[in-house]
């Protein structure tokens, strides 16, 4: 059982008096139902075990072939790195950079940072440059897309099976295991327990101890009026909507989105630095709506060529064929792989469009200071953040097809111009979701409650 302390919701900014988190339970915000805290027993030990396993699997996955294609006695094998290299040599360096970053660089950084942070703690020593490594881990986590790569490989295998004999490689299985192990490491890692262990491992007077004192001072000095008890059993309660509910902004307290620490903001300052992990602190994200709109407009412009222009160019003895995203969906459907056709359609056509529409709705309603259905709009935002990465599915399918179908005069596949436009749409919508501040939704509610009072 953990002691109660002051909690600030990262989605609606409501201040609440937390309860001891029940074993393996969850504390949720009384107003927007966001997760505030989760009890993770043996968090750091399990996360370290997963990270060590991920290191072994990551090396195997990048050294051995993922899949091979046999045609008329010719066998073409490819590794993930070779697939990136083929895209680069074909002049598709933006797609090559995107695939490299999301399947090799970011997962590798995630594993390396976890080990650099957790191995010293296992030896009862404070990690070297813990704040910097923690920020890198926090940044890399959402951009590592191993699970999306696995689905992309499955779709590519189905398409390739109609062309030639498919030979599965060792890396295909190790990538599947890596996906599970990385997910386990992320789920097991508890930032609160990590920083508590860092403080205990640090020498007296070390800077790592200072944030805890600052956090305690903030919690002790914050007003204790209209705070709300949150527990896993009360996840369905919505008692925080009443007028007069305190928010972090009203009390001059900001919550670090990386490590979860509460810090008192300097007077008349909209931004500061977390004293524990060094991440940027904001009462509200700077120019949130204007930046969100700018990214959305760019995504809207590129969405058209991404779906109209050819995403793949296939050359063979029978001529040249240019395929769009929709023609690829139709091919899977006609060939009898309707589940994969549905998956590709949802991930590559429906999800990008719904992300653009959903974020536009959130930005417009927030800009107009609408006060109705704030909880539902917050849930829409969480859903957009959750599904945004899955739109990369088609990019990984193209990567595998380009790398494997290289039989010179017999058949070759190259990425088309739509691949670059589509990749840009995915990245722009992910950045737009990151720029949008859901706390702005609730600011209008607070203003209405204040004027009503």
pLDDT at 359: 95
Provide the 10 A C-beta neighbour count for residue 56: 14
Domain membership flag for residue 11: yes
Q: Who wins on pLDDT, 377 or 407?
A: 377
Range of the domain at 259: 6-35+202-263
Calpha distance 109→312 (Å, rounded): 31
Count of domains for the chain: 2
**Residue 231's pLDDT band (cuts 50, 70, 90):** very low
CA distances (Å), origin 14, targets 36, 173, 232, 283, 445: 11, 45, 17, 12, 12
Domain membership flag for residue 450: no
Q: Who wins on pLDDT, 25 or 442?
A: 442
pLDDT at 450: 65
Mean pLDDT estimate for the chain: 82
pLDDT at 213: 35
pLDDT exceeds 50 at position 236: no
Calpha distance 359→293 (Å, rounded): 9
CA distances (Å), origin 149, targets 80, 95, 144, 180: 10, 14, 10, 13
pLDDT exceeds 70 at position 70: yes
Looking at the fold, whether 258 and 389 belong to one and the same domain comes out as no
| Paired tokens of 101 | 């970053």
**Residue 20's pLDDT band (cuts 50, 70, 90):** confident
pLDDT at 50: 95
Domain membership flag for residue 307: yes
pLDDT exceeds 60 at position 235: no
Domain membership flag for residue 174: no
262: three-class secondary structure by DSSP: strand
Q: Who wins on pLDDT, 244 or 78?
A: 78
Domain membership flag for residue 177: no
Domain membership flag for residue 452: no
Looking at the fold, whether 258 and 372 belong to one and the same domain comes out as no
Domain CATH number, residue 296? 1.20.140
Q: Who wins on pLDDT, 264 or 203?
A: 264
Phi/psi for 126 (5° steps) reads: -75, 135
pLDDT at 152: 87
DSSP-derived secondary structure for 275-340:
TTT--EEESS-TTHHHHHHHHHHHHHHHHHHHHHS-SEEEEETTEEEEE-HHHHHHHHHHTT-HHH
Looking at the fold, whether 404 and 307 belong to one and the same domain comes out as yes
**Residue 239's pLDDT band (cuts 50, 70, 90):** very low
């Amino acid at each position: 059982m953990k002691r109660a302390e002051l909690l600030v919701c990262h989605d609606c900014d409501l201040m609440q008096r937390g309860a001891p988190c029940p074993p393996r339970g969850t504390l949720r915000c009384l107003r927007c139902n966001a997760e505030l805290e989760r009890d993770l027993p043996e968090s750091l030990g399990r996360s370290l075990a997963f990270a060590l396993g991920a290191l072994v699997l990551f090396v195997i996955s990048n050294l051995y072939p993922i899949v091979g294609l046999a045609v008329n006695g010719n066998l073409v094998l490819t590794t993930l790195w070779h697939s990136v290299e083929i895209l680069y040599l074909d002049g598709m360096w933006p797609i090559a950079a995107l695939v490299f970053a999301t399947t090799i660089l970011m997962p590798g950084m995630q594993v390396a940072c976890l080990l650099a942070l957790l191995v010293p703690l296992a030896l009862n020593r404070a990690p070297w440059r813990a704040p910097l490594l923690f920020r890198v881990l926090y940044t890399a986590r959402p951009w590592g897309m191993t699970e999306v790569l696995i689905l992309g490989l499955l779709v590519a295998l189905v398409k390739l099976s109609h062309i030639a004999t498919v030979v599965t490689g060792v890396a295909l299985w190790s990538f599947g295991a890596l996906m599970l192990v990385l997910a386990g490491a992320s789920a097991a890692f508890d930032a609160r327990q990590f920083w508590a262990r860092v403080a205990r491992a640090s020498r007296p007077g070390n800077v790592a101890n200072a944030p805890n004192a600052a956090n305690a001072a903030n919690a002790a000095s914050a007003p204790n009026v209209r705070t709300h008890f949150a527990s896993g059993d009360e996840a369905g309660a919505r008692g925080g909507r009443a007028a007069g509910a305190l928010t972090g902004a009203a009390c001059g307290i900001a919550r670090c989105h990386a490590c979860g620490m509460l810090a008192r903001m300097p007077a008349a300052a909209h931004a500061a630095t977390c004293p524990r992990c060094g991440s940027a602190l904001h009462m509200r994200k700077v120019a949130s709506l204007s930046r969100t709109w700018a990214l959305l407009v760019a995504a809207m412009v590129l969405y058209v060529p991404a779906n109209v222009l050819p995403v793949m160019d296939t050359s063979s003895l029978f001529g040249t064929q240019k395929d769009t995203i929709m023609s690829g969906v139709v091919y899977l459907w006609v060939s009898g792989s309707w589940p994969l056709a549905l998956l590709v359609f949802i991930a590559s056509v429906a999800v990008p469009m719904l992300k653009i529409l959903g974020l536009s709705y959130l930005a417009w309603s927030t800009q107009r200071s609408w006060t109705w259905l704030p909880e539902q709009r917050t849930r829409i935002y969480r859903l957009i953040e959750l599904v945004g990465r899955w739109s990369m599915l088609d990019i990984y399918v193209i990567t595998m097809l380009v790398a494997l179908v290289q039989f010179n005069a017999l058949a070759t596949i190259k990425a088309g111009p739509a691949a670059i436009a589509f990749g840009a749409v995915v990245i722009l919508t992910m950045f737009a979701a990151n720029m949008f501040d859901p706390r702005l939704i609730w600011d209008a509610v607070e203003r209405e409650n204040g004027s009503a009072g």
